[in-house]
Amino acid sequence: MTDQSEFRAALESAVEHALAWRDDGPKTPIVPSVTADDLRLAFDIGLPARGRDGVEVINALADAALPGLVANTHPNFYAWVQGGSHPIGVAADLLTSSWGQNAGIYQCTPASAIAEEVAGKWLLDLLSLPKDSSVAFTTGATMASFICLAAARSEVLHRAGYDLEQEGLMGAPRIHVFLGREAHTTIHSDLRYLGFGKQDLIEIDVDDQGRMDAADLKTKMESVEGPKIVITQAGHINSGAFDPFADIIPITRAHKAWVHVDGAFGLWARAVPELAPLAFGVDGADSWTTDGHKWLQVPYDSGFAFIRDEQAHLRAMDVTASYLVKSESDGRNPSSYVPELSRRARGFAVWAVLQALGREGVSEMVARHCACAKHLQKRLAEFDGLTILNDVVLNQVAIAFESDDTTQRVIDHIRTENQNFVLGAMWKERVILRISIIARQTSLPDIDVLADSIVSAYRNVKPASVR
Ligand SMILES: *Cc1c(COP(=O)(O)O)cnc(C)c1O
């Protein structure tokens, strides 16, 4: 076979598998039942001495993987805050891989650099963030916050008269980092990568929805001297709640602090006029993180860092070498804004998904998911035996039954029914059934199915004596 015909045959085979997976008909198990050992057996077929036929390889890959895939492209997927890879994004990604570009620097792939530049501008517009902010296309929200906090670290030291890039972290004045007690766990990872220890962190009290208490922040910021970073949240992982930015940001000004916003999913409320007030004041911050691969449905990996002060961003991330040339008329070098040099042309899929959804498509989807969450709340309110622990303001519904044991058994029962993919979490020291409504196609009829299955699972697991 020629190279080209082998490529065509392998692609066609991959496309068939892709279409079968996305078929809306009866699914392979929505909850995989396969064990790790089953998968080891399926994958560990030995490294062949000689290469195999391409179509055979693609078929073997699909056979081995299928039993261990999770249905997060399915409308009844509620287990994590995850997106479902928009089909047009997937097609764009296939093209991206086929083009085989390295999007590190402009001259390496001019088209990719400009696609990121333009898509970045659209994102700032959709999210109503300061339009001159710099944008980095990352692997996800974890790395986006890493970048934002690296810029923050450089800038707050700079404001204190210390040149981090020249003098290094070891001799730097101590930076205090203020964050809510219920900050997302990945923020703690980012801080660790950046050289912060637990003793540098000052945790701020939160209310019953996990929102930062602005008065406590004020008191605690006044209690220490020196450079300060404040990390807030748009969209709490269990409740969907937003920190009170309009109260928080003015407090931080007197301290010349940098305010970062982890808005991995919640920032998308800004794309819906009726929901935008949830994040009121958020545009006064210095940096923002959101994901592409969650609510925007861009295929993995996709996240964005937005930074008001481009110079601080570049100080933290820029990379230079004689062969990384850039002339005056070139576009920006994507690698100047992220930790990697060689990288995937991430902007193409983002550009394509934004074109496929349009401003109204993004807004309709986010609004629909939030309406679904309210609908679930309403359906479950008719029913004794459970409590919804959060104010349902966004797409998250945190449900607890009379005991942790019952909640866990309800979750297990729903999972065995194989109709809805749900999972538990811990919040407020209770086991919760945490429903995240974020899969692209989820709509009200899906929520009726879910509500029925929650109620019937409860009836099933409840001891007969109290039924
Ligand atoms: C998902 C999430 C993250 C981490 O994002 P990744 O894209 O998985 O790296 C951070 N913060 C919040 C609030 C999240 O929901």
Question: 386 phi and psi, to 5 degrees?
Answer: -140, 160
Q: Is the pLDDT of residue 466 over 60?
A: no
Q: Is 186 in the pocket of ligand 1 (CB under 6 A)?
A: yes
Give me 307's structure tokens: 């930074």
- State the distance from the centre of ligand 1 to the C-alpha of 186, rounded, in angstroms: 7
- Cα of 153 to ligand 1 centre, how many Å? 21
Look at residues 71, 68, 70, 29 and name the one whose alpha carbon lies nearest to residue 441. 71
Atom number, ligand 1, closest to the C-alpha of residue 142: 9
- State yes or no: pLDDT of 26 exceeds 60: no
CA of 170 to the centre of ligand 1 (A): 29
**Residue 193 pLDDT more than 60?**
yes
pLDDT tens digits for range 140-152: 999 999 999 999 9
Q: Evaluate if residue 1 carries a pLDDT over 80.
A: no
Three-state SS at 28: coil
Q: Is the CB of 142 under 6 A from ligand 1?
A: yes
What Å distances lie between residue 402 and 71, 385, 406, 434, CA to CA?
29, 6, 7, 15
Angle, CA of 348, 299 and 271, to the nearest 5°: 80
> What does the pLDDT read at residue 416?
87
Q: Which two tokens stand for residue 239?
A: 């409740």
Is residue 200 within 8 A of residue 177, CB to CB? The reply is yes
Tokens coding 379 = 């359906």
pLDDT range class, residue 419, cuts 50, 70, 90: confident
Beta pairing, strands 228-233 & 201-204: unpaired
- Amino acid letter, 72: N
- Provide the token pair at 281: 């004041």
Query: Which tokens hold the place of 139?
Result: 């692997």
Phi then psi for residue 288, to 5 deg, are: -145, 145
The CATH class, in words, for 93-353 is alpha beta
Average pLDDT over residues 396-418: 94
Q: pLDDT tier at 383 (50, 70, 90 boundaries)? A: confident
- Find the 142 Cα to ligand 1 centroid distance in Å: 6
Q: How far is the CA of 143 from the centre of ligand 1 (A)?
A: 9
Question: 194 CB contacts (<8 Å, ≥6 apart)?
Answer: 146, 149, 150, 153
* CA 430/CA 448 separation, integer angstroms: 25
Q: What is the pLDDT of residue 325?
A: 73
Tell me which range, 17-21, 132-136, 462-466, is most confidently predicted by mean pLDDT. Answer: 132-136
Burial 272-287 (b: 16+ CB within 10 A, else e): beebeebbebbbbbbb
Burial-class residue 357 by CB neighbours within 10 Å (0-12, 13-18, 19+): buried
Ligand 1 pocket check for 305: Cβ under 6 Å: no
Q: What is the overall mean pLDDT for the chain?
A: 94
Span from the CA of 163 to the centroid of ligand 1 (angstroms)? 31
Write down the pLDDT at residue 24: 58
* C-beta of 400 in contact with ligand 1 (< 6 A): no
Residue 373: the pLDDT is 98
Q: Is the pLDDT of residue 2 over 80?
A: no
State how far the Cα of 343 lies from the Cα of 321, in Å rounded to an integer.
Answer: 17
Name the amino acid, one letter, at 214. Answer: A
* Largest pairwise CA distance in the chain: 78
Is the CB of 180 within 6 Å of ligand 1? no
Question: CB atoms < 10 A from the CB of 148, how many?
Answer: 30
- Those residues whose C-beta lies under 8 Å from the C-beta of residue 25, and which sit 6 or more positions away, are none
Q: Whose CA is nearest to atom 5 of ligand 1?
A: 141
Question: Ligand 1 pocket, 265 CB below 6 A?
Answer: yes
* Residue whose C-alpha is closest to residue 180's, from 104, 106, 232, 115: 232
CB-ligand 1 contact for 140 (6 Å cutoff): yes
The pTM of the full predicted model, rounded to 2 decimals, is: 0.96
Tell me the pLDDT tens digit for each residue of 204-234. Answer: 999 999 999 999 999 999 999 999 999 999 9
190 lines ligand 1 (CB under 6 A): no
